[in-house]
Amino acid sequence: MAFENIIFEIEKEGIGVITINRPQALNALNEKTISELREAFHKAKFDPQIKVVILTGAGEKAFAAGADINEIQKLNFASGKTFSERGQSLLDFIEGLGKPVICAINGYALGGGCELAMACHIRVAADTAKFGQPEVALGVIPGFGGTQRLARLIGRRHACELVLTGNMISVDEAFRMGLVNKVAPGAQLMDEARKIAASILAKSPLAVHLALASILRGIEVPLAEGLKIESELFARACASEDKEEGTAAFLQKRKPTFKGK
């Protein structure tokens, strides 16, 4: 597929790689880029070849340095609400893709870029990466889910500090807070992301899908309801061909051949 602001590639073993490709603008998320990201993730969701997605940015400076300020300057109440809802819709789609999304954060992840990273399921960051929600310095607030996902990921006290001060934090601070899963040297970032993807790909695709659904659905409801969700999805896994293959392979001391059924 031909895109202007992103690169979409399908690698061997079922890995789809989506790269935001506006390094001259620090990969800022303008409307065109948001639209192309939605199109690429839509393809990734429904392409049976793709089992895991890696999202990253082009260049060494930025993963995505926020939304396009020129576009934000023109927003009013009505257009601002539409802009926010459009961004939230994309990030909700990514989070609910049904396939694991690994974010390889190669540099600045600010504003909408930090929000985009938070919508991914696993985050690996380069040792030079920096994070922040600087919107208050522009007279606005995070609008792509930042006030909601950040507090859920790192707790209210850290989220309040980051959002209300607008300050950037280092990758070490982000790791300490739980915002990123792993830190790697920049030159090894994609290798680390692919290593995680390979580990996921070695498992049952159906079980991965169901486990991800259980986590995402369960985290938004009380524990008792979450346990019911888990039990239902566990039962679905128990009735699958992958369960038969996985348990048989374990008992026979061989590598399983999963079909995702």
Q: Is residue 64 part of a domain?
A: yes
Q: Is residue 258 part of a domain?
A: no
228: number of Cβ within 10 Å: 13
Q: Is residue 141 part of a domain?
A: yes
What is the three-class DSSP state of 140? coil
**Residues listed for the chain:** 261
Which positions ≥6 away from 72 have C-beta within 8 Å? 83, 138, 140
Q: Does residue 189 share a domain with residue 67?
A: yes
Q: CA 147, 148, 149, 155 torsion: positive or negative?
A: positive
Q: Does residue 168 share a domain with residue 213?
A: no
Task: Determine whether 135 is an active site residue.
Answer: yes
Q: Is residue 179 part of a domain?
A: yes
Q: Does residue 28 share a domain with residue 151?
A: yes
CATH code of the domain in which 38 resides: 3.90.226.10
Q: Does residue 223 share a domain with residue 183?
A: no
| Contact of 137 with 166, CB cutoff 8 Å | yes
Q: Does residue 68 share a domain with residue 170?
A: yes
Q: Does residue 234 share a domain with residue 192?
A: no
Q: Which of 115, 192, 241, 245 is catalytic?
A: 115
Q: Which of 13, 135, 220, 225 is catalytic?
A: 135
Q: Is residue 1 part of a domain?
A: no
Query: Domain range spanning residue 56?
Result: 6-201
Q: Does residue 136 share a domain with residue 220?
A: no
What is the three-class DSSP state of 195? helix
Which positions ≥6 away from 7 have C-beta within 8 Å? 17, 18, 19, 21, 58
Q: Is residue 259 part of a domain?
A: no
Q: What is the pLDDT along the chain (261 residues), one digit of tens a residue?
A: 689 999 999 998 899 999 999 999 999 999 999 999 999 999 999 999 999 999 999 998 999 998 888 889 999 999 999 999 999 999 999 999 999 999 999 999 999 999 999 999 999 999 999 999 999 999 999 999 999 999 999 999 999 999 999 999 999 999 999 999 999 999 999 999 999 999 999 999 999 999 999 999 999 899 999 999 999 999 999 999 999 999 999 999 999 999 988
Task: Determine whether 71 is an active site residue.
Answer: no
Q: How much is the pLDDT for 12?
A: 82
Q: Is residue 256 part of a domain?
A: no
Q: Does residue 189 share a domain with residue 150?
A: yes
Q: How much is the pLDDT for 67?
A: 84
Q: Does residue 211 share a domain with residue 107?
A: no
Q: Does residue 143 share a domain with residue 184?
A: yes
Q: Does residue 169 share a domain with residue 46?
A: yes
Q: Does residue 227 share a domain with residue 191?
A: no
CATH code of the domain in which 221 resides: 1.10.12
- As for how many domains the chain has, the answer is 2
